[in-house]
Amino acid sequence: MKKVILIAMAVAVITGAGMGSAFAASAGSNSLNSGTMGFNVGMGNSILGDLGVVTVSGKYFILDDLALVAGVGVQDSSGDFDERFFSISAGLRHYFNMNDFSPFVEGRFSYEDENTTVTGDRTDQNALDFSAIFGAEYFLSKQFSVEGAVGFGFGTITVKTPGFPDRDSTYFGTRTVGVSANFYF
């Protein structure tokens, strides 16, 4: 089900790219201006591999093409497979142009923590990550855009399972960051 939602969001981004010019042209310009704040809701891949985690983040433009970003992700499931997930991130995003199609690059620091219990066996994981993210926003109206992004990251993951030694690993690699919607005010 989660993959279907991601595919639907990707199709919406691609379809919106063709239709959005008419909507954005009628709005005049977009909301990429100094002092503007934005709200972002997206679904993507977490560092720990949780594809269905929904993240909520905010942006504050300190310059027309530069924004501070911060976000949080939370998920809690119960049943035969209990899981608690929490993430927090902060970064800086630079836009290459201020048009309706606005490519960007972002540097982001993230912390993720996940606790999973399956049939009584508990595993705790946490990750510290620095990511470079490349993507673009496309404005469908002055205060609404969709975005897609990919990136690569470097970090450490610690896995703790009671009765076993802690396992630490360092990684470097690409990742899907996901698709999301932005609302500006």
CA–CA separation, 47 vs 50, rounded Å?
Answer: 7
Q: What pLDDT is attached to residue 38?
A: 94
pLDDT at 50: 65
Give buried/exposed letters for 167-185 (b at 16+ CB in 10 A, else e). eeeeeeeebebbbbbbebe
Q: pLDDT (tens digit, 0 to 9) for every residue of the chain, 185 residues total?
A: 444 444 445 444 444 444 444 444 444 478 889 999 999 998 766 677 666 678 899 999 999 999 999 999 888 877 777 888 889 999 999 999 888 999 999 999 999 998 888 777 888 889 999 999 999 999 999 999 999 999 899 999 999 888 888 899 998 988 777 789 999 98
How much is the pLDDT for 45?
61
pLDDT given for residue 11 in this prediction: 47
CB 114 within 8 A of CB 87: no
Q: Strands, E, within the chain: which ranges?
A: 37-44, 53-63, 66-77, 81-95, 101-118, 121-141, 144-160, 167-184
pLDDT at 24: 40
User: For residues 113 and 72, what is the distance between their CA atoms, to the nearest angstrom?
Assistant: 12
